[in-house]
Amino acid sequence: MQNVGHSYLSELNDIQRGAVEATEGPVMVIAGPGSGKTRVLTYRIAHLINIGVAPWNILALTFTNKAAREMKDRIEKVIGSGAHKVWAGTFHSLFSRILRVEAHRIGYPNDFSIYDTDDSKSLIREIIKSLNLDSKVYNVGAVRSRISTAKSNLMSPQAYAQNDDLLSLDKMNRRPMIFKIYELYVKKCKRAGAMDFDDLLLQMFNLLYKNPDNVRAKYQSQFSYVMVDEFQDTNSLQYEILKLLTVFDGSPHNVCIVGDDAQSIYSFRGATIENILQFEADFPAVQVYKLEQNYRSTNFIVDAANEVIGFNKKQIQKKIWTDNGDGRKIKVIKTMTDSEEGRRVADSIIEQKNRWHYANKDIAILYRTNAQSRVFEEHLRRHNIAYRIYGGLSFYQRKEIKDMIAYIRLCVNHKDDEALKRIINYPKRGIGKTTMEKLTKVADDNEISIWQVITQIELKGSHKRTIGGFINDIKEMQKRVMVEDAYKASLYISQKSGIIELLKADNTPEGKSRIENITALLDAIKEFVEDDEISPGEEAPEDKSLARFLQSISLMTDADQDTEQVDVVTLMSVHSAKGLEYKSVFVVGLEENLFPSYMSLSLPEQIEEERRLFYVAITRAEEMLTLTYANSRYQFGNMRFNDVSRFLEEIPESATDSTILTVKKDFPQPKILGNFKKVGAGRGALPQVDAGKFVASPITAIKEGVSVMHLKFGRGTVVSIDQRKVATIRFDQISDNPEKRIMLQYAKLQVLED
């Protein structure tokens, strides 16, 4: 290990340095957006190593493998080659690694399979069918979410079955048998030697809580310094595990959490803001450091962020500031329709590229829901602006890849029923649905795996050829897995399974693409085998087996995928944008019922999370921030008129370049700020059209000079009508391009009495 002294500390501001040097006891670092959070976390680890702490005694928990890799790279630049020995990784990856060693202590095989979302859904779907339940009522996604929530709250199937509140709620939702599905799901996973993603946390908790052979003391001793990144994103179960690792003999260990309560936006995944708000109470001796200097954004953006988040009641008080200068004022774009919104955003991007010389990759469009992307894609294509949708279908979620991985999984773990069911008849072998149902029932009745059933019963007739052939193929593949490295074994599996031959027979572009994907998977395995880097915490060259490769890919997330820098505008949901930054950011669709979402309007805590989401959105911008909204848009097949988002009214007058005129009716306004004047119907206001009382007049009644009402554009005057029966109408409530050309054949216009 290279000791380079303490010169790196001079790169930190006073608060950052204090957080880095506070190595003992509980420490909480509240890190505002763009405040150098990652630098503090990595320098803190580097500092610990530099003052003599062994790297393998440091546990750094993150939410993506990408963040862990970046952390190790930064540490290595500061202190040298010791970084790879730090236990840095996601909760799931590091806990699964511990469970690979300790799982036998709690009744699981150490080579357990990891079930992904599709595996879990497939198993739940099978259970619903076996119980003769209505699959439309017992929606697989809803049932899986219920089970996930129960696990995250440390609720066993037995406890669930005795919880009157949950049972009543399930009955109200016409799903009273969820407790039974949960019970069977847990049994089948255990029987298959499998854990789903929630189990990697739950079983880690069980390992530490039940403490067989004093295993808790072993890991408390090993991890003498524990750090958690993005602590505001933790759920209750993750926090309980942290306590078990860091509190013993009644005293808190050396634990440091880094996060920002104002960026807690993942409650739908089970994250709870209460963890970070409660930390000071749970660790009374905690040292608190607030990183409030923003190095990312200009002052107008920072001021807007402070003002907006100030409307939330539940928060840790702080005020971010910057030395980056005022910068350009926030631009606000009002449009009549969502289509116009798409056009104006595309036009603005062209203007920014020409005027400020921004590259496409410097620009992002952020929206509340993924469905909003269509209109922006449409207008970007029309302008030949290259773009990408962030968070598309993951490589490892493609069918041909999942099929190949299922073969590998079954070779590694014969008990993996979900893998077996996926590929026993792929490529087709003549093993039908009825046969599989019978085999599954035998397995259930005897509480054994399907592999045990097919290898122990006497196969007769056609089954001797079909199922027997499948068994022999898997056994041949497993022999290679046992003696060869991951690449050679997987290459053999791809050929022996018949997948390569099947896909090569398809000469369509789609077929060729699938072959390319399988080739890319094999290339990835080869790279895995030939990579000589030692993984976090490894003392010797890591295992190059297929089991180890499966573990690494099973835990990948969208954020871990290759995001090679290319010159494209990025479109993504605000949730996906967290942790990213761009020179220019467009936050679009700022309307009530959209942002904030209509699903959040009933509870104050949900509105506060929506506001935190808006805070995250605007703080992604470095230099330019543009906020857009449309007076009308099609939703669920209907034209909807939405009020301007309350969040726009919370932006300070001094930070924006224009006046927004709004009409608010459906929610109380806690504060009216400067340029956001509350006005009645009139020029600049939303069209006030009562669709229920609207009656379209006959075309013959539409003449030059008459006043008319249009459902979308409001009141206007017919300027002219040409020979093709196209009317030019000037609308009172449209300030930008008020004249619209409308085909009378399709128009719905109501003639008004002046």
The stretch 103-112 carries a mean pLDDT of: 94
Q: Which of 297-301, 387-391, 587-591 has the lowest mean pLDDT?
A: 387-391
pLDDT band at 469 (very low <50, low <70, confident <90, very high): very high
Preceding omega of 652 cis (within 30 degrees of 0): no
Q: Please write the tens of the pLDDT for every residue from 519-555.
A: 878 877 887 777 655 444 444 455 778 888 888 777 6
- CA dihedral in degrees (215, 218, 220, 221; nearest 10)? 170
Degrees to nearest 5, angle at CA 95 with 89 and 99: 140
Q: Please determine, for residue 484, whether its predicted confidence score (pLDDT) is greater than 60.
A: yes
Task: For residues 182 and 196, give the distance between their C-alpha atoms in angstroms, rounded to a whole number.
Answer: 13
Q: Please determine, for residue 564, whether its predicted confidence score (pLDDT) is greater than 70.
A: no
The stretch 279-301 carries a mean pLDDT of: 94
Task: For residues 43 and 299, give the distance between their C-alpha atoms in angstroms, rounded to a whole number.
Answer: 27
pLDDT band at 344 (very low <50, low <70, confident <90, very high): very high
The stretch 479-499 carries a mean pLDDT of: 91
Reading the block at residue 573, the tokens are 């949901």
Reading the block at residue 487, the tokens are 């690449």
Closest CA to 152 of 204, 113, 108, 188: 204
Q: Please determine, for residue 338, whether its predicted confidence score (pLDDT) is greater than 50.
A: yes
Residues 6+ apart with CB under 8 A from 746: none
Closest CA to 189 of 266, 261, 107: 107
Count of CB atoms situated within 10 Å of the CB of 495 = 12
Q: Please determine, for residue 631, whether its predicted confidence score (pLDDT) is greater than 80.
A: yes
Percentage, residues of the chain above pLDDT 70: 89
Residues 6+ apart with CB under 8 A from 72: 83, 84, 86, 88, 536
Instruction: Give the CA radius of gyration of the chain.
Output: 30
Q: Please determine, for residue 184, whether its predicted confidence score (pLDDT) is greater than 90.
A: yes
Classified as helix, coil or strand, 639 is strand
Mean of pLDDT over the chain:
86
Positive or negative: CA dihedral 700, 701, 707, 708: negative
Task: Tell me which of 290, 296, 620, 633 is the catalytic residue.
Answer: 620
Task: Tell me which of 90, 234, 263, 662 is the catalytic residue.
Answer: 263
**Full-model pTM:** 0.76
Higher pLDDT, 676 or 74: 74
Whether 170 is catalytic is no
pLDDT band at 680 (very low <50, low <70, confident <90, very high): very low
What is the DSSP secondary-structure string of 690-731? -TTT--PPPGGG--TT-EEEETTTEEEEEEEE-TTSEEEEEE
pLDDT band at 675 (very low <50, low <70, confident <90, very high): very low
Q: Which of 193-197, 203-207, 491-495, 536-540 has the lowest mean pLDDT?
A: 536-540
pLDDT of residue 392: 57
Positive or negative: CA dihedral 397, 399, 401, 403: positive
pLDDT of residue 690: 61
pLDDT of residue 370: 81
Task: Tell me which of 16, 17, 37, 85 is the catalytic residue.
Answer: 37
Closest CA to 128 of 187, 186, 177, 161: 177
Q: Please determine, for residue 102, whether its predicted confidence score (pLDDT) is greater than 80.
A: yes
Whether 362 is catalytic is no
pLDDT band at 556 (very low <50, low <70, confident <90, very high): low
The stretch 109-113 carries a mean pLDDT of: 93
In degrees and rounded to multiples of 5, residue 634 shows phi and psi of: -80, 130
Count of CB atoms situated within 10 Å of the CB of 73 = 11
Closest CA to 112 of 348, 418, 497: 418
Reading the block at residue 123, the tokens are 């198993």
pLDDT band at 685 (very low <50, low <70, confident <90, very high): very low
pLDDT of residue 668: 43
- Residues 40-68: b if buried by 16+ CB within 10 A, e if exposed: bbbbbbbbbbbeebebbbbbbbbbbbbbb
pLDDT band at 492 (very low <50, low <70, confident <90, very high): very high
**Alpha helices (H) in 173-268, listed in sequence order:** 178-191, 197-210, 215-222, 236-246
What is the DSSP secondary-structure string of 555-603? T--GGGS-----S-EEEEEHHHHTT--EEEEEE---BTBBTTBGGGTT-
Positive or negative: CA dihedral 345, 346, 351, 356: positive
Whether 39 is catalytic is no
Residues 6+ apart with CB under 8 A from 103: 109, 110, 112, 203, 207
Task: For residues 304 and 302, give the distance between their C-alpha atoms in angstroms, rounded to a whole number.
Answer: 5
Reading the block at residue 743, the tokens are 């085909």
Task: Tell me which of 38, 435, 452, 455 is the catalytic residue.
Answer: 38
pLDDT of residue 286: 93
Preceding omega of 427 cis (within 30 degrees of 0): yes
pLDDT band at 1 (very low <50, low <70, confident <90, very high): very low
Closest CA to 317 of 284, 279, 290: 290
Higher pLDDT, 727 or 105: 105
Whether 66 is catalytic is no
Q: Please determine, for residue 625, whether its predicted confidence score (pLDDT) is greater than 90.
A: yes
pLDDT band at 142 (very low <50, low <70, confident <90, very high): confident
pLDDT of residue 508: 63
pLDDT band at 270 (very low <50, low <70, confident <90, very high): confident
Degrees to nearest 5, angle at CA 575 with 572 and 579: 90
Higher pLDDT, 168 or 686: 168
pLDDT of residue 104: 95
Task: For residues 229 and 59, give the distance between their C-alpha atoms in angstroms, rounded to a whole number.
Answer: 11
Q: Please determine, for residue 166, whether its predicted confidence score (pLDDT) is greater than 80.
A: yes
pLDDT of residue 467: 93
Pairing of strands 569-573, 387-389: parallel
Whether 230 is catalytic is yes
8-state DSSP, 235: B
Whether 653 is catalytic is no
Task: Tell me which of 102, 229, 240, 609 is the catalytic residue.
Answer: 229
Percentage, residues of the chain above pLDDT 90: 57
The stretch 620-646 carries a mean pLDDT of: 84
Task: For residues 657 and 626, give the distance between their C-alpha atoms in angstroms, rounded to a whole number.
Answer: 10
Task: For residues 333 and 341, give the distance between their C-alpha atoms in angstroms, rounded to a whole number.
Answer: 8
Higher pLDDT, 31 or 731: 31
Pairing of strands 726-731, 739-743: antiparallel
| Beta carbons of 224 and 23 less than 8 angstroms apart | no
Task: For residues 98 and 85, give the distance between their C-alpha atoms in angstroms, rounded to a whole number.
Answer: 15
pLDDT of residue 681: 31
| Beta carbons of 663 and 643 less than 8 angstroms apart | yes
The stretch 202-225 carries a mean pLDDT of: 94
Q: Please write the tens of the pLDDT for every residue from 368-387.
A: 988 788 889 888 988 999 99
| Beta carbons of 717 and 730 less than 8 angstroms apart | yes
Task: For residues 615 and 78, give the distance between their C-alpha atoms in angstroms, rounded to a whole number.
Answer: 33
pLDDT of residue 539: 47
Pairing of strands 739-743, 582-587: unpaired
